[in-house]
Amino acid sequence: MEKSLSLTEENYIKAIFQIRRTPESNVSTNSLANSLQTKPATVSDMIKRLSHKKLIFYEKYKGVTLSAAGSKQAIKIIRKHRLWEVFLVNHLNFKWDQVHEIAEQLEHIKSSELINRLDDFLGNPTTDPHGDPIPNANGQFQLGPSKLLSEMTSNENGIIVGVKNENSLLLQHLDKLNIHLGLNIKVKEVNDFDQSMQIKLADSSTLFLSEKIASQILIAKKLRSYL
């Protein structure tokens, strides 16, 4: 039987999962402290608690990694968070820049039955409103190949599938530009001086994007080309 975790413990487990680059990567105490906006001493105390519960492995001077049990817990939390974001956007008419903080609260609901029913109610979505993959009930992600718009070259086609950063100001700016998930684009030109881009949309309109914006947009290859 899984041990019940406190809200704070769940936040730590999720933060470790999201900070690490690979499942084997070590996460430093300073990285955790910065992510959770707390003091390194507080992080050290929590590491002892999570180690005792066998959710993480800690190696002095190297940092922490998640155990199999810790990864399982983190994925469950992320699954709840992203399903709630879909519900808030699709059924309560929140905008994609408004849902993260609310989902942060809802992700700590313990009932697996509720989350499974929510998943079925939503039609078992595979991505959240920001394009992030939603784990299924078995903890499996459906990951497709993607790259940043800023990495594309002239005449490349793609479809917007996500954003790298869920910062609300970024999302609001993208809304003003009418940039959203599922938007088909073609890179018309990349400026050699500042790496800004001119992109063409399916309706033949064009947009000019700075490199700063292009570096936050995730693109996958299209299944068809009509630009």
The pLDDT tens digits of the residues spanning 135-194 come to: 999 998 876 778 999 999 999 999 998 998 888 999 999 999 989 888 899 999 999 999
pLDDT at 134 over 90: yes
Fold of domain 147-220: SH3 type barrels. (2.30.30)
| pLDDT for 115 | 97
Q: Supply φ then ψ for residue 208, to 5 degrees.
A: -110, 125
Angstrom CA distances, 193 to 190, 197, 210, 217, stand at 9, 11, 11, 20
| pLDDT for 2 | 55
| pLDDT for 1 | 44
CATH 1.10.10.10 given to domain 7-66: yes
pLDDT at 4 over 60: yes
What are the sequence ranges of the domains in the chain? 7-66, 147-220
| pLDDT for 122 | 98
pLDDT at 22 over 80: no
pLDDT at 222 over 60: no
Q: What mean pLDDT is reported for the chain?
A: 90
Angstrom CA distances, 21 to 16, 17, 42, 160, stand at 10, 9, 23, 23
| pLDDT for 23 | 72
| pLDDT for 144 | 72
What are the pLDDT digits (tens) for 71-112?
999 999 999 999 999 999 999 999 999 999 999 999 999 999
| pLDDT for 209 | 96
Assign residue 85 a region (left: φ > 0; alpha: ψ between -120 and 50; beta: otherwise): alpha
The pLDDT confidence band at residue 3, using thresholds 50, 70 and 90, is low
pLDDT at 223 over 50: no
- 10 Å CB burial of residue 154 (0-12, 13-18, 19+) is exposed
Both tokens of 188, joined, read 């018309």
Which position has the higher pLDDT, 204 or 42? 42
**Number of neighbours of residue 184 by Cβ within 10 angstroms:** 18
| pLDDT for 61 | 84
pLDDT at 204 over 60: yes
